[in-house]
Amino acid sequence: MGESTGDENTNLYMRGVDEGRSDELLEASDLLDILDVFGEDGMRSYLMGIIEGQEDAAEDEEDLLEEDNEDGKSEETDT
């Protein structure tokens, strides 16, 4: 099993964030490849990025829903 450097962990984290936001998750075999090449620290960085990306996407969706609700209320009061 390999080990990852700080830069590699950062890149894996950012990749995880991007994939978590877009809901494009890797297959199990690809996750095992990350583990083999980058070790446990690299895998941890990637998985933490996935979680952060999914949380960001959920927050963005909530914000959009709140904006839509606010726009709907202002249109009702305008008429």
Domain ranges of the chain: 6-78
On whether the CB atoms of residues 30 and 62 are closer than 8 A, the answer is no
3-state percent breakdown (helix, strand, coil) of the chain, nearest 5: 85, 0, 15
pLDDT given at position 75: 58
Average pLDDT for the chain: 89
Q: CA dihedral defined by 11, 12, 15, 16, rounded to 10 degrees?
A: -140
- Model confidence at 74, pLDDT cuts 50, 70, 90, reads low
